[in-house]
Structure 1
Amino acid sequence: MTLLWAAVVGYFIGAIPFSYIIPKIKGVDITKLGSGNVGGTNVLRNLGTKYGALAMFLDIIKAVFAVLIFKNFGESAMVMAGAMSVIGHCYSPFVKFKGGKGVATTLGTLFGIFPQAGMFALGVWIAIVAITQYVSLGSIIGLLSGAIFALVFGKDYWLVFLALALFSVLRHKENIKRLLSGNERKTNVVDYFLGWMDKSEVKKGNKVSK
């Protein structure tokens, strides 16, 4: 019964479409912009760093929250809640069963269950995106790295981490085709954040060189 509750609660927490809600508050339907994906990267590209970063952060935190709710009910319940939060994010009933590609929520699941794996996956993601500017490539390799990290440290649930990573890979199939053909869109995440910092300085009245 606990696992059932973990699945249901995890699903509906994961289904909260922050990457849809945040743009909607600004009067923007994110499903009609860019890739149409209800995910943080699409928000970042179309609404800028502040809203994109907020969407990504909340998509991570909701998975962490879903996992930690079941912290006192055992590891299996935590893993179930995390895994179902990813499913909820990707197939949210609140946006006609659409959703993102599960990267942020999978990362949040890793953080909630095995924080070191989450940090490792995030580090790999940052490194690859900084070097290649391919968010999709960083996401795929980062999540797979998190699963391998859990395996190396002898965690039984590494298979669940791997399954979630492969699920995200499947969600990235169009990105993979574009990567192989050399047509994948690059996103300079570093410039996005540096640009945001520059704008913040301007608002404070400081002159920022362009």
Structure 2
Amino acid sequence: MPLAAATLWSARNHLGEIMNPPWLLPASVLLMSYLLGSIPFGLLLTRLTGAGDLRKIGSGNIGATNVLRTGRKGLAAATLLLDLLKGVAAVLIGAALVDGGGPMAGAMAFIGHCYPVWLRFAGGKGVATMMGVVTALHWPAGIVFALVWLGALFGTRWSSVGGMAAGISAPVALWFMGRIDLVPATLALTLILLWRHRGNIARLAKGTEPRIGASKG
């Protein structure tokens, strides 16, 4: 472990030396995090396995919930995991390369998932990626996020309610856990997540939001 830390420190210093002006390394990390987050794993997996164009199925969303509507539970689970890992990887890379860079790198990965340049900025809702970001920043808050998500999801059978409840729980949990330094970044992600769910909120108000497992009729 000390050898790995020393190697990482050496690589970081080398990058800092060759990337001038000083803002170039942080900017590169943010761009890399955005591009990482913008990889549409749900769309890629469904295409590669012959499940069709995910944007023409169900809600048209590229996330795991819509992948589930293809009937491929394994693909939905894989999409969830990969979207989560995008957030984890961005935070770890950002923290390793830039002092205090984890939260901003995670936020950029989340934004990349929600607004990917490859899909004309029409991406997913960001729940899984936010869970990865929160878990990498402070794993106890990540556990709270996951438990709230699962509890609300199975309690209501509304995917949107589970995602929104989990998103709201993140800054609240971090506040009570004493990680107030992480509250501003996670609160910003929560607000974006809620904005991405505005259509779901309207359908919930009208009573037309579909439940997981319910028939299309």
Q: Distance in 1 between matches of 2:192 and 2:203?
A: 18
The one-character-per-residue Cα deviations of 1:62-82 (angstroms, maximum 9, x if unpaired) are: 110111112334563111110
1:6 is aligned to 29
Q: Distance in 2 between matches of 1:107 and 1:75?
A: 22
Q: Distance in 1 between matches of 2:139 and 2:148?
A: 14
Structure 1: gaps of 5 or more residues: 190-210
Do structure 1's residue 138 and structure 2's residue 177 form an aligned pair? no
1:121 is aligned to 145
Q: Distance in 2 between matches of 1:3 and 1:79?
A: 12
The one-character-per-residue Cα deviations of 1:17-74 (angstroms, maximum 9, x if unpaired) are: 1011000112310001100011111001224211111101100001101111123345
1:170 is displaced (CA, Å) by 0.4
Q: Distance in 2 between matches of 1:188 and 1:142?
A: 20
2:193 is aligned to 168
For residues 92-111 of structure 1, the aligned pairs below 5 Å read 92-111=116-135
Q: Distance in 1 between matches of 2:199 and 2:147?
A: 24
Match among 52, 57, 72 for residue 96 of structure 2: 72
Do structure 1's residue 85 and structure 2's residue 104 form an aligned pair? no
Say which SS state the counterpart of residue 61 (structure 2) adopts: coil
2:14 is aligned to none
The one-character-per-residue Cα deviations of 1:102-161 (angstroms, maximum 9, x if unpaired) are: 111111110111111111011001011111101101110111101100111222121111
Say which SS state the counterpart of residue 183 (structure 1) adopts: coil
Most deviating of 68-77 and 39-48: 68-77
Say what the alpha-carbon RMSD is for the aligned residues.
Answer: 1.5
2:80 is aligned to 56
Q: Name the aligned partner's letter for residue 197 of structure 2.
A: H
Q: Name the aligned partner's letter for residue 152 of structure 1.
A: F
Identity fraction in percent: 36
1:10 is displaced (CA, Å) by 0.8
Say which SS state the counterpart of residue 70 (structure 1) adopts: helix
Q: Distance in 1 between matches of 2:71 and 2:95?
A: 35
Greater RCO between the two (CA within 8 Å, min separation 6)?
Answer: 1
Q: Name the count of aligned residue pairs.
A: 189
Say which SS state the counterpart of residue 70 (structure 2) adopts: helix
Greater gyration radius: 2
1:151 is aligned to 175
Q: Distance in 2 between matches of 1:83 and 1:47?
A: 31
Say which SS state the counterpart of residue 209 (structure 2) adopts: coil
Q: Distance in 1 between matches of 2:35 and 2:98?
A: 20
1:7 is displaced (CA, Å) by 1.2
Contact 1:3–1:76 (CA<8 Å) still a contact in 2? no
Q: Name the aligned partner's letter for residue 5 of structure 1.
A: S
Q: Name the aligned partner's letter for residue 111 of structure 1.
A: T
Q: Distance in 2 between matches of 1:21 and 1:35?
A: 17
Structure 2: gaps of 5 or more residues: 1-22
1:188 is displaced (CA, Å) by 4.3
